[in-house]
Structure 1
Amino acid sequence: MTNRDRLLGLAVVVLWGLNFLAIHVGLEHFPPFFFAGLRFAVIAIPVLIFVPRPQVPWRWLLLYGVGFGILQFAFLFTAMREGMPTGLSSLVLQASAPFTVLLGALFLRERLRGIQLAGIAVAMAGMGVIGWDRAHHAALLPLLLTILGGLGWAFGNIGSRLAAAESGPGVNPLHLTLWMAVVPPLPMFALSALTEGSTTGWRDLTSSFSVHGWPAYAALAYIVLLGTIAGSGLWTYLMSRYAAGTVAPLSLMVPVVGIAASWMFLHEVPSVLSLVGAVIVIAGAFTATAAGRRSGGTTAPASREDATPEAAEIREHGESSANAARAFGARPQPVEV
């Protein structure tokens, strides 16, 4: 990965870490399904009018939108509304990293090594430690919902990778992210109407136009502009350029920002056992994802330039994209170097 792309990855880490504070504020004003639909509806309306649809198959765009937009945030917002601590949510959601590795091996034919399986096992053990701690101090359901949110995120990662594999390097990552936002609003509003009441969310939206309601709109603006458009756009760019096992470890730094911000602004103090579990999860997930960069052996480079880490990772991405295309009946595209 180039130094510029590493900096872009760190920017995503900060944006997404602080995003959990904005989610916390928004959920104090809106029910979870309605809030999830609202955050994407604000993006989807102008996108449908002004942004051309990227030339990617609808099935991968829908997989991206359902996984990243619907499943992730339906589970995450519900978990946080039911009492999942903000900082701990930012950690547990990173279950998406080992999930992405497993799904990449299953659907994209990315090679999976023994050390990656060991890392996944360690990460699951860390989740078990956190679950044990939660079971003794609070309800376990919010934790399980957050883990399911991480699984949804992983499916979204696979959808964006498959879209890039079939469409080639010409697809605009920002356009892909923006059009992903078109998928969640109607299903989320329908879920809200069925489970939260047909008028509850809209009534809360109207009542937020007050002196005391401005934090709800500030939170919504942050989530839409910085958390979704900027953060997800950069993430989609990185996922389209590098193998899933290369990009996924970056998300493991999000909890550092999320837990620190929650401690500073919300006065959330995690238990010692939860912190131990957090370290275990991050160590295991990092092992599971970072180890994939060198899986499958090496090939002698044709030149000095081909021997650089950046060139090696571009070659790896090209192989996995072609494998994904063949696995799903798509025509493989050349990778731009």
Structure 2
Amino acid sequence: MPFKDVVAALIVIVVWGANFVVIKFGVDEVPPMLLGALRFFFVAFPAVFFVPRPAVSWRYVVGYAATISLGQFVCLFLAIYLGMPAGLASLVLQAQAFFTVAIAALVLHEAIRLHHVLGIGLAIAGLVLLDAGADSTVVPLLGFVLTLLSAFSWACGNIVLKCAGQVRMLSMVVWGALLPPIPFLLLSVTFEGSDLMLDTLLNLSWRAIAVVAYLSGVATLVGYVLWGRLLSRHPVARIAPLSLLIPVVGLLCADWVLDEKLGMWQWVGGAVVLIGLAVNLFGARWLSRLRNQAQAT
């Protein structure tokens, strides 16, 4: 992987790792469906007047909007609002890596190599260890299920992007944000109430404004533009597991900011995740060297 793509991946990991703490702050002040509407409204406007429409079929734009923008964040915002701890949400959401690789193998017929299986297996073991230190944390069942649904929606969006082919990601992100505010607002009116919506909008705090700015400008525009470019340049099985580093950053941020303390097994789990990622990224090169050395001897 070129160095610039490694840097892009690291930026995405840090931005999205911190994102869960930001969402927690957001849903503490803004109803979750209204927060989703605000997030994607400010992704789309005023940028849509200056960014050209993506040069792909509308079905890909709608598919991207319905999965990565709408489905993922309806489930995730609601899960955290219902009490899913921010650090553990960052952990469970990374099931998207496994969903993505599996769907790509079934739909796109992408090959899954031995080092992919080994790397993902190690990463799964690391995620289990990360979760082992959180036994004392109350995890609502509905919040857990919603986070898994969020992961599945993200994985489906990854496949939509892969099927769309080469696309200008800034255009896809901006134009894909046109659809979500409407269903988010309808959900907010239906389940949160118009009175609460208006009261929240008229009394937004500076922290709530900062949350919306981060979610729309940094997490969405920066994060998804870079993520989409990585998916378009590399096999899904190589890129999707990179997101397994996100819970390491997410758990650290939750520990530092929200005082969600890490146990010893969580630190060990983070190290195992890193080893799994290294195997996934560099396993082919290592196996090739081992074969060459074996043939030389």
The answer to whether TM tops 0.5 is: yes
CA contact (8 A) 1:97 1:289 kept: no
Q: 1:219 to 1:111 in 2, by over 3 A?
A: same
Matches within 5 A, 1:195-234: 195-208=191-204, 213-234=205-226
SS in 1 for 2:194: coil
- Is 1:184 matched with 2:180? yes
Q: 1:186 to 1:133 in 2, by over 3 A?
A: same
**Cα displacement (A) at 1:236:** 1.0
SS in 2 for 1:199: helix
Could you tell me how far apart the structure 2 residues matched to 1:287 and 1:4 are?
A: 17
1:321 is aligned to: none
- Is 1:161 matched with 2:162? yes
**Cα displacement (A) at 1:249:** 2.3
Could you tell me how far apart the structure 1 residues matched to 2:58 and 2:158 are?
A: 15
Could you tell me how far apart the structure 1 residues matched to 2:198 and 2:161 are?
A: 32
CA contact (8 A) 1:36 1:188 kept: yes
1:62 is aligned to: 62
* TM-score, normalisation: structure 1: 0.75
Could you tell me how far apart the structure 1 residues matched to 2:22 and 2:143 are?
A: 18
Counterpart of 1:162 in structure 2: which amino acid? Answer: C
1:108 is aligned to: 108
Could you tell me how far apart the structure 2 residues matched to 1:275 and 1:32 are?
A: 31
Q: Give the aligned length.
A: 285
Q: 1:278 to 1:187 in 2, by over 3 A?
A: farther
**Cα displacement (A) at 1:123:** 6.2
2:231 is aligned to: 239
Q: 1:126 to 1:144 in 2, by over 3 A?
A: farther
* TM-score, normalisation: structure 2: 0.84
Could you tell me how far apart the structure 2 residues matched to 1:116 and 1:250 are?
A: 12
Could you tell me how far apart the structure 1 residues matched to 2:226 and 2:151 are?
A: 19
Instruction: Please give the per-residue CA displacement for 1:280-324, whole angstroms capped at 9, x wherever unaligned.
Output: 7x4797499659979xx9xxxxxxxxxxxxxxxxxxxxxxxxxxx
**Cα displacement (A) at 1:204:** 0.9
Could you tell me how far apart the structure 2 residues matched to 1:10 and 1:204 are?
A: 35
Counterpart of 2:171 in structure 1: which amino acid? Answer: H
Structure 1: 4+ residue segments shifted above 3 A: 113-138, 270-280, 282-294
Instruction: Please give the per-residue CA displacement for 1:256-291, whole angstroms capped at 9, x wherever unaligned.
Output: 2211111111111145566677677x4797499659
CA contact (8 A) 2:123 2:275 kept: yes
Counterpart of 1:23 in structure 2: which amino acid? Answer: I
CA contact (8 A) 1:64 1:158 kept: no
Could you tell me how far apart the structure 2 residues matched to 1:143 and 1:123 are?
A: 19
Unaligned runs of 5+ in 1: 298-337
Write 1 or 2 for the structure with the bigger share of helix.
2
Could you tell me how far apart the structure 1 residues matched to 2:57 and 2:137 are?
A: 47
1:175 is aligned to: 171
Matches within 5 A, 1:85-164: 85-113=85-113, 116=116, 130=131, 137-164=138-165
**Cα displacement (A) at 1:157:** 0.8
Could you tell me how far apart the structure 2 residues matched to 1:250 and 1:94 are?
A: 9
Unaligned runs of 5+ in 2: 289-297
Q: 1:285 to 1:196 in 2, by over 3 A?
A: farther
1:333 is aligned to: none
Instruction: Please give the per-residue CA displacement for 1:120-167, whole angstroms capped at 9, x wherever unaligned.
Output: 677667777749966984422212211211111111111111112xxx
Report the RMSD for the aligned CA atoms in angstroms: 2.9
SS in 1 for 2:45: helix
CA contact (8 A) 2:118 2:276 kept: no
CA contact (8 A) 1:60 1:159 kept: yes
Q: 1:276 to 1:77 in 2, by over 3 A?
A: farther
CA contact (8 A) 1:101 1:288 kept: no
Counterpart of 1:226 in structure 2: which amino acid? Answer: V
Could you tell me how far apart the structure 2 residues matched to 1:216 and 1:293 are?
A: 45
**Cα displacement (A) at 1:96:** 0.9
